[in-house]
Amino acid sequence: MKQKRFGKWAAPLVLAVSLLVSACGTSETSSVGAEVEAKDLVVGLTGDPVSLDPHNATDTISSLINYQILDTLVAFNDKMEIVPRLAESWTVSEDGKTWTFKLRQGVTFQDGTPFNAEAVKTNFERLADKSKKLSRRVLIGQFIDKITTNGDYEVVFQLNTPQGPFLNNLAVTASGILSPKSIKENEQGIAKNPVGTGPFTFKEWTPGNQVVLEANQQYWGGKPGVKSVTFKPVPENAARVIMLETGEADVIEKVPASEFERLKSNDEVQVISRPTNRVLYIGINTTVAPFDQVKVRQALNYAIDRETLVNKLYEGRVKLATASVAAQTFGYSDVGAYAYDVEKAKQLLQEAGVKEGTKLRLILAANVIQDRPAAEFVQNSLQKVGFDAELKILELGSYLETLKDPSTYELFVRGAAASTGDADSVLSDGLLSTSATNYSHYANPKVDEWIKAGSAQTKPEERQKSYAEALKLIKEEAPWISLHEDVGYVGIRKNVEGVEVQPTYIWDLRKVVKK
Amino acid sequence: MSDTDVSVQVATQAAEVSYQRRSPWASMLRRFRKNKRALVGFWMVVVFVGIAVFAQAIAPYDPIEQNMDVILQPPSADHLFGTDEYGRDILSRIIYGSQISLMIGIVGVLISVVIGVGLGTVSGYFGGRTDMFIMRIMDIFMAFPSFLLALAIVSVLGPGMVNVMIAIGIFSVPTFARISRSAVISVKNKEFIEAAKSMGASHARVIFKHVLPNSVAPIIVLSTMRIATAILTASGLSFLGMGAQPPTPEWGAMLSTGREYLRTAPHVSTIPGLAIMFMVLAFNMLGDGLRDALDPKMKL
């Protein structure tokens, strides 16, 4: 084995050493200069961004790229606490409707436009404009009554209703500040050429090939540690890992579980894990019999052996979910997971009059490969309690199309990710009766009330209480089978430092250095 | 041919006896038996069919029973081919998978034989505008790469085993139509057809009694070869997630999901791959042998 290894490396080694020697011999100055010079960083992602207009993009990859180009007024630190970014300080009125932000001075956009209160106003007026149909209007835009400026560096948000998660919603890329010049002059062009105040300037995007960003030398937070960042879409897992191993990529997204052991023995790379606030769940379509009965939904919950799922199928690489929102989310409280009890499940099904061999369709989107084992596990578990469970793996497009028609599915696999780090983003998205993405079609006036109360209250303790009530009721009524909290795995070469991975799957490359 | 081989001698004798009756089948059988490669293919097919028929008796485990205590184990005495990512026994899955592959291959080809030979015979027998019309449609089908055509059909119908069989049935139709048309044309001007017609036989009678039986040889050969293509295509569709849905132990699907573990547990994907290879090889060798035996001059 050793000999073989030596044989494999001998030729490149000799070559490298001889090159090094010759390089040192001829020009000492240039080799010293190369040490100091910032390098190019290559990042392997699972796909292409959809749109680089932060106010309209909803996918994680677009947000991840935009996070490096844009700044937000406030930001999350690695503990998901709110810290200042473009705003230096802020105050909120007693009724929770008026927010005043003091802005950082001396910041300029990448196109030379100065950053000031007027720029912030232009951005949020764009987000609030209903006629522009921006998909991220729901976060901040819909609550804005009026925005006024007070001098160059103070901006006042007048909201139409108090908003508990307001600061969290301001901290995500979807509330990123674009250059007002780009909004006024070429609004359609933003999706292909975003201009912000961030550490990297957008250079080019060749769809299917790469997105290139260049370091913003004038960045107010200090010059970035790399010269450029190139994001490459590499959907095939194995290919991405090989790129990391060969050094073709410095950082890769979503290292597949099957590669951990092997990568551990590689001295040049490391895999960092970060618990995320995405809860994987099986949604139950509550509009079709027999799943309109609470007993049947509880039975489904009792039928799943979550301990085995977490510890054996995923080999302990995910965490057991103990509520509909993840532990890292504001508003989380431990309401406990259903225990594994086949007898009880069967008994409940019998009481509800569910016959052996009842058919059910479980749908899964083909692109979320990490969820497929869980889906097959659930299918198997439901078969054990007497269902004839069919698993349909659909392309993302037809999966979303299927979800629009409640007569075409009984169960669906979906991840609930709290992109704002707040329970509100999960609950009002997936369980509020009026939400368009409530695919369980779960409607409970009491739960609605608690969810709405949680978002309208401004005192954290009160909000926490409202969400606790909501989560308790949701567990009892079981519109979801919550399975586990995802853990994000990012592969990084050892010569790269400072990649900050957040629980929302977003990485911050502001402090990244490549040696 | 060796003189000591008793079976061959018997065959030769049988052939000599039937020679007086000039049966083409007996001489075909003799040629087939002389062809070692064809015999190997034949016996491999027999073995696969045997495995498929007696799957329940042979398989050591339930092919869809998950056992989380033994995930991704390499081949061992307990699990001859190892286990997959859900702790399912791969040997049992391969055994049950042979049922699926054979069924898709045979049913798919049957669909195309019925439609293709029907169209080809009508086309060749009647000629003229009918021929023109049918064959131009077949030409259009032939213009598409066959796998893409199958993929397009499954995309329209939705994923699933039945739809894969239909897709495979349709994509082989033009080939069967062409072959049977040319066979019919070469037969239809023979004297015995003319004789039958002059005795007042109906078109249907002439086709079924005289034309079809005399053009069946190339169709048998083509069917055998197309089974191999059908199995390969079905595996390809399942590999892309358009065919068998989990937990069905379809070989192509097993290969596809095992790909993720290629570097840590290579047996998960290589074993189904080998199974596909051997089955396709078996049908191809059998088909080649049949072709040589039925008509050495025939080109397919």
Cβ contact, residue pair B260, A256, below 8 Å: yes
What is the model's pLDDT at position A294?
94
What is the model's pLDDT at position A80?
86
Does domain A277-485 correspond to CATH entry 3.10.105.10? Answer: yes
Q: How confident is the model at residue B16 (pLDDT cuts 50, 70, 90)?
A: low
What is the model's pLDDT at position A27?
40
Domains of chain B: 34-62+85-294 (1.10.3720.10)
**Percentage of residues in chain B having pLDDT higher than 70:** 90
Does domain A37-70+198-268+494-514 correspond to CATH entry 3.20.20.70? Answer: no
With vertex at residue A238, the alpha carbon angle to CA A215 and CA B255, rounded to the nearest 5 degrees, is: 155
Cβ contact, residue pair B264, A261, below 8 Å: yes
A182 phi and psi angles, rounded to 5 deg: -70, -30
Q: How far is CA B253 from CA B94, B109, B148, in A?
A: 11, 21, 18
Cβ contact, residue pair A312, B69, below 8 Å: yes
What is the model's pLDDT at position A35?
46
Q: How far is CA B268 from CA A57, A204, A305, A380, in A?
A: 39, 41, 25, 20
Q: How far is CA A193 from CA A66, A424, B35, B219, B246, in A?
A: 10, 31, 68, 60, 42
Mean pLDDT of B256-281: 91
Q: Which of A260, A312, A396 to mutate to test binding with chain B, by most B CBs within 10 Å of its CB?
A: A312
| Topology adopted by domain A71-180 | Dipeptide-binding Protein; domain 1 (3.90.76)
Cβ contact, residue pair A259, B263, below 8 Å: yes
Mapped onto helix, strand or coil, the DSSP state of residue A231 is strand
For residue B231, is pLDDT > 90?
Answer: yes
Are A313 and A377 spatial neighbours (Cβ–Cβ below 8 Å)? yes
Tokens of A124: 């949020």
Mean pLDDT of B68-77: 89
With vertex at residue A105, the alpha carbon angle to CA A101 and CA A108, rounded to the nearest 5 degrees, is: 110
Are A168 and A418 spatial neighbours (Cβ–Cβ below 8 Å)? no
Smallest CA-to-CA distance from A241 within B260, B228, B150, B148 is with B260
Instruction: Outline which parts of chain A fall under CATH 3.90.76.10.
Output: 71-180
Instruction: Outline which parts of chain A fall under CATH 3.10.105.10.
Output: 277-485
Cα separation, B106 vs B84, whole angstroms: 28
Q: How confident is the model at residue B12 (pLDDT cuts 50, 70, 90)?
A: low
Q: Which of B260, B262, B263 to mutate to test binding with chain A, by most A CBs within 10 Å of its CB?
A: B260
Tokens of B22: 């000039």
Are B295 and B186 spatial neighbours (Cβ–Cβ below 8 Å)? no
Closest residue in chain B to residue A239, using alpha carbons only: B260
Gyration radius from chain A CA atoms? 25
- The verdict on A183 touching B (C-beta cutoff 8 Å) is no
Beta bridge partners of residue A92, listed in sequence order: A99
pLDDT beneath 70, residues of chain A: 1-36
Are B98 and B55 spatial neighbours (Cβ–Cβ below 8 Å)? yes
Cβ contact, residue pair B159, A379, below 8 Å: no
What is the model's pLDDT at position A330?
92
A324 phi and psi angles, rounded to 5 deg: -75, -15
Are A484 and A319 spatial neighbours (Cβ–Cβ below 8 Å)? yes
pLDDT, tens digit, for every residue of A46-77? 888 989 999 998 888 999 999 999 999 999 98
A513 CA to centre of own chain: 23
Cα separation, A198 vs A52, whole angstroms: 14
Distance from CA of A509 to the nearest CA of B (A): 29
Cβ contact, residue pair B86, A376, below 8 Å: yes
The lowest-confidence range among A154-158, A438-442, B30-34, B284-288 is B30-34
Gyration radius from chain B CA atoms? 23
Cα separation, B265 vs A46, whole angstroms: 23
Distance from CA of B64 to the nearest CA of A (A): 8
Distance from CA of A341 to the nearest CA of B (A): 17
* Chain A from 376 to 405: CB within 8 A of any B CB: 376-377, 379-380, 390-394
Distance from CA of A485 to the nearest CA of B (A): 20
Residue B242 with chain A: CB contacts under 8 Å: none
Q: How far is CA A249 from CA A69, A214, B140, in A?
A: 20, 17, 45
Distance from CA of A238 to the nearest CA of B (A): 7
Instruction: Outline which parts of chain A fall under CATH 3.40.190.10.
Output: 37-70+198-268+494-514
Residue B257 with chain A: CB contacts under 8 Å: 372
Cα separation, A368 vs A363, whole angstroms: 12
Total Cβ atoms within 10 A of residue A154: 16
What is the model's pLDDT at position A3?
45
Closest residue in chain B to residue A305, using alpha carbons only: B68
Are A420 and A168 spatial neighbours (Cβ–Cβ below 8 Å)? yes
Q: What is the mean pLDDT of chain B?
A: 87
